[in-house]
Structure 1
Amino acid sequence: MRCSFRPFLGLSLVLALAGCGGDTEAPTQNQTAAAPAGVIAVSPAQEKKLGLEWAVAEKADKAPIASLPATIAPPPNARVAVTATYPGIIRRIFVAEGDPVRAGQLLATVASTDILSHSSDLTRAEARLRVARASASRLAQLSREGVIAGARADEAQAQLRQAQADVTEQRRLLAMSGASGRDGTYRLTAPIGGRVSKVAAETGDRVDPMQAPFIVDSASRYEVRAQLPERLIGSVRPGMTVQVADGVGGQVTSVGNTIDPETRSALLKARVPAAPGIVSGGATNVALYGPAPENAVTIPDAAVTNLDGKDIVFVEAKGGVRAQDVSKGNTIDGRTLILSGLKPGEKVIARGTSELKSLALAQ
């Protein structure tokens, strides 16, 4: 058998389709003739030999706009500083930076002379309360029997209420700090569930009021911040969908209305939930999406190629495949938006387009 080769066809493609020197099934003249005009006849054996892979056009519910470098940060009110209530010495630390914590979990114990002082004040206030209670009870009885004037009983009741208020206040002060009057220590606890992002003290260090030995970041949500190019400011608005690494989705919360004169961009902020790989201070890429045009679909970006200056895809046709002109939009995360030329559910070649392109040029 003598083979005739077209100059622009690669040897491997000819061997695959013409069967020259190989065992691949080649289309017969009848099969080729039976294919409609514009259809490239491809048998199952040839499809396997060329490594062709199919994909299905999916209806697009959102349209990719851009992919931007971004940083991850805790949103406002999601970062809480744990401050020392009283001056003292850290006796023990129970967490390290990066540890997850739940609300109310113990972070450290602090020894403080103020706690001993409050404990002593509470003991004295409780003693005065017992005396005031006994006195008020006795004078109330004497007043009912007419032995003393009612005013003296009323005065004793006022002193009892004052003693009760003193005890309540001393107990509140100790309870607020999780204090233990027995050993003069109080507790620093996590005010929210999340992750310890900073530990600024060590065992034995002195801490003072308003100093923050610990910072806890909420682990339920994060904020993504990116610089939005000036050309995109008008097309991106709050409520649009975003997607970060590993498919984590969120929403745009704000777009700055001031353009940086150096970068010609505005600050974009988006809210995303906590997920593996979402770490405060980390770098990522954020993909922006807007509403998709009607009848738009998405396909793998490898399915789109260029033929005679036009964007095309190879779609399934009776007896093989055919080149279909399409109008494409942006590509993000390996998917290309097709604005027209394809319908949802149509099958396209996602791998092997270069070989089919050579065949289309040969027709």
Structure 2
Amino acid sequence: MNNKLPAAFCLLLLTGAACTHRSKLETDKEKLTQLKKQEGDIMSQIQALNDTIKAEGGNTVKTTRVGEQTLALQPFRHFVEVQAAVYGQDNIEVSSETMGVIKRILVTEGDQVRKGQVLAQLDDSVLLQNIQEMQSALNLAATLYEKQKALWDQKIGTEVQYLSAKTNYESQQNRLSALQQQDEMMKLKSPIDGVVDAVNIKIGESVAPGLPTVRVVNLEHLKVKGDVAEAYIADIHKGDSLKISFPDLHTEVTSTVSYISRSIDEVNRTFTVEVDLPQNPDYHPNMIAIMKIMDYYNPAAIVIPVNIVQNDPTGAFVYTAVDHNGIMTATKAPVTIKTGMVYDGMAEISAGLKAGDKLVTVGYEDLNNGDAISF
């Protein structure tokens, strides 16, 4: 009887363990089923979000950020740039009419002078003595002539005596006039109204005809003069509009062509173009200027920055932005620059682009044809 009791007890323990094992297995199965259901829900949500992002064109497509410009017709002007200089229409180097020594200088640089004003005086002391002697001789001749004439009027004396006195008197007058004219030549006079620009003489220096002494400039009549290549002679006409730039003044003025030379320089094959300048105290003779003459004008052109034009073995091209199925892509567009029509960094395009095209102007260096782009 004692042997049956332990056996029954062991059977009871095994039965309980089996029940506990079956209960944990069922719980794990239920948890696995719930997790699989959650996984399905999460995958559905992920797929839905991916579809939404793709439909909206979001980060599922990698794009390159660029800058763009919508093309429109605009005026294009081409200018011929010519190195030029300012000239005084009345820019005169005054020289002496006779040899002599400078006695007095009556002006300094910057003085305003009038036409005929004495600028300097040569030493005329000897000439003045001759004039005084001649004046005395003339006075004597005049007295003798008047007395001889009075006698001749009274029929006293001979006709020869009267004519001799008259001839001597007139001769003395002519001699005195010649000496006075010589004395006037001892004065350096300004031939124009203007400003004394330079005094190239000193007191005591000798001067001679043809040697410069004083330069007088009339700043009211300045002009710009430049030499233009012969190739442009058919493109430039009197009255054409142009621009004149003064690099030292950092200014630019607009004017018109006032004169075109009729001959071609045989050495450098150029012709001269002149432009009248408005009055301005900042303009000075011999100042450097750049003459910009307009030789071409198109009122409605496609114009783009020349620096964005690239080249490959097929020729010149640019990138434009084109919409493909809702995605902006960089599209290679071959272009033709009108021959010679590039000025101030801008080029006129004769083929390959039209108004309304979106031109890629920033970031084009790293693009390939067909790349997705954004602005």
TM-score tier after normalising by the smaller chain length: 0.5 to 0.7
1:267 aligned onto 2:270: yes
Q: 3-state DSSP class of the match of 2:192?
A: coil
Inter-partner Cα distance in structure 1 for 2:291 and 2:213: 33
The worse-fitting range, judged by mean Cα deviation, of 296-305 and 117-126 is 296-305
Residue 326 of structure 1: how far off its partner (Å): 11
Residue 338 of structure 1: how far off its partner (Å): 9.1
1:128 aligned onto 2:131: no
In structure 2, the CA distance between the partners of 1:91 and 1:337, relative to structure 1 (3 Å rule), is farther
Match of 2:10 in 1: none
Structure 1 residue aligned with 2:266, among 236, 258, 269?
258
Amino acid at match of 2:115: G
Amino acid at match of 2:205: R
Amino acid at match of 1:127: S
In structure 2, the CA distance between the partners of 1:83 and 1:116, relative to structure 1 (3 Å rule), is same
RMSD: 5.1
- In structure 2, stretches of 5+ residues that fail to align are 1-51, 246-251, 311-315, 321-334, 368-372
Amino acid at match of 1:149: T
Inter-partner Cα distance in structure 2 for 1:300 and 1:78: 44
Q: 3-state DSSP class of the match of 2:272?
A: strand
Match of 1:247 in 2: 253
Inter-partner Cα distance in structure 1 for 2:149 and 2:116: 47
Inter-partner Cα distance in structure 1 for 2:183 and 2:163: 31
1:286 aligned onto 2:291: yes
Residues 67-114 of structure 1 deviation map (CA, whole Å, 9 limit, x = unaligned): 13x141647x85432223442135336223xx37444375743451xx
In structure 2, the CA distance between the partners of 1:189 and 1:225, relative to structure 1 (3 Å rule), is same
Inter-partner Cα distance in structure 1 for 2:101 and 2:174: 27
In structure 2, the CA distance between the partners of 1:258 and 1:130, relative to structure 1 (3 Å rule), is closer
Q: Is the 8 A contact 1:139 1:153 kept in 2?
A: yes
Inter-partner Cα distance in structure 2 for 1:282 and 1:238: 24
1:64 aligned onto 2:78: yes
Match of 1:117 in 2: 126
Inter-partner Cα distance in structure 2 for 1:104 and 1:214: 14
In structure 2, the CA distance between the partners of 1:93 and 1:139, relative to structure 1 (3 Å rule), is closer
Residue 297 of structure 1: how far off its partner (Å): 5.4
Residue 116 of structure 1: how far off its partner (Å): 1.3
TM value normalised by structure 1: 0.56
Inter-partner Cα distance in structure 2 for 1:162 and 1:311: 96
Inter-partner Cα distance in structure 2 for 1:223 and 1:118: 45
Amino acid at match of 2:289: T
Residue 132 of structure 1: how far off its partner (Å): 1.6
Residues 45-84 of structure 1 deviation map (CA, whole Å, 9 limit, x = unaligned): xxxxxxxxx99956x9xx635213x141647x85432223
Amino acid at match of 2:81: S
Residue 137 of structure 1: how far off its partner (Å): 1.6
Q: 3-state DSSP class of the match of 2:261?
A: strand
Amino acid at match of 1:243: K
Q: Is the 8 A contact 1:55 1:299 kept in 2?
A: yes
Residues 14-52 of structure 1 deviation map (CA, whole Å, 9 limit, x = unaligned): 9xxxxxxxxxxxxxxxxxxxxxxxxx8xxxxxxxxxxxx
> Percent identical across equivalent pairs?
10
Inter-partner Cα distance in structure 1 for 2:349 and 2:197: 44
Q: 3-state DSSP class of the match of 1:125?
A: helix
Residue 285 of structure 1: how far off its partner (Å): 1.9
Q: 3-state DSSP class of the match of 1:66?
A: strand
Name the count of aligned residue pairs. 280
- Aligned pairs (5 A) from 1:70-149: 70-72=83-85, 74=87, 78-84=90-96, 85-92=98-105, 94-96=107-109, 99=110, 101-104=112-115, 108-112=119-123, 115-149=124-158
- In structure 1, stretches of 5+ residues that fail to align are 15-39, 41-53, 179-187, 260-264, 313-324, 341-345
Residues 115-153 of structure 1 deviation map (CA, whole Å, 9 limit, x = unaligned): 112211222222222222221121112112122122221
Inter-partner Cα distance in structure 2 for 1:108 and 1:298: 59
Q: 3-state DSSP class of the match of 2:212?
A: coil
Match of 1:192 in 2: 192
Residue 162 of structure 1: how far off its partner (Å): 0.9
Inter-partner Cα distance in structure 2 for 1:172 and 1:200: 25
Match of 2:182 in 1: 173
Match of 1:45 in 2: none
In structure 2, the CA distance between the partners of 1:273 and 1:119, relative to structure 1 (3 Å rule), is same
In structure 2, the CA distance between the partners of 1:7 and 1:243, relative to structure 1 (3 Å rule), is same
- Aligned pairs (5 A) from 1:185-334: 188-194=188-194, 196=196, 198-202=198-202, 204-210=203-209, 211-217=211-217, 219=219, 220-226=221-227, 228=229, 232-233=231-232, 235=234, 239=238, 242-245=242-245, 246-249=252-255, 250=257, 251-253=259-261, 256-258=264-266, 266-275=269-278, 276=280, 278-290=283-295, 296=299, 309=317, 330=341
TM value normalised by structure 2: 0.54
- Aligned pairs (5 A) from 1:25-44: none
In structure 2, the CA distance between the partners of 1:234 and 1:151, relative to structure 1 (3 Å rule), is closer
Q: Is the 8 A contact 1:248 1:272 kept in 2?
A: no
Match of 1:4 in 2: 58
